[in-house]
């Protein structure tokens, strides 16, 4: 029996997370374009945001993730309808996006942990 290309509805929570991921990708593109070189060379701590001093790689991954998710948003009617192939493509786009965001998330987590452990660093 042949398989039909039937679309299924996805949960609104997953659609909201895809839109949030797209916004985070766009934010990362802007940050890496504007501050990427400074983040690379300022210190080892800030180079964490650029995955060890590779802001162009992070910029390219974030741009690719954003473009993939934007295209998929059109194909899936705002991430509300999907097929097996579109779900696979969405998962790949999410992996690319999370790869681009990993350095920024690590930088924020280390900064928050440092604040929690050491408290106020300036008098």
pLDDT per residue as tens, the chain (123 positions): 555 555 555 567 888 899 999 999 999 999 999 999 999 999 888 888 888 889 999 999 999 999 999 999 999 999 888 899 999 999 999 999 999 999 888 888 888 888 888 877 665
SS3 82: strand
* DSSP state letter for 45: T
SS3 54: coil
Query: Strand pairing partners for 8?
Result: 82
> Cβ of 26: how many Cβ atoms within 10 Å?
16
pTM score, whole prediction: 0.80
């Amino acid at each position: 029996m042949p398989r039909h290309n039937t679309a299924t509805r996805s949960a609104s929570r997953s659609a909201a997370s895809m839109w949030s991921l797209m916004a985070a990708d766009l934010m990362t593109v802007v940050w890496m374009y504007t501050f990427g070189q400074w983040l690379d060379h300022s210190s080892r701590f800030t180079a964490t945001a650029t995955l060890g001093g590779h802001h162009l790689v992070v910029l390219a991954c974030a741009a690719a993730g954003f473009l993939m998710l934007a295209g998929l948003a059109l194909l899936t009617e705002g991430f509300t309808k999907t097929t097996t192939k579109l779900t696979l493509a969405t998962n790949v786009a999410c992996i690319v996006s999370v790869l681009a965001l990993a350095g920024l998330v690590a930088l924020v987590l280390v900064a928050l942990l440092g604040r929690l452990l050491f408290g106020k660093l300036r008098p």
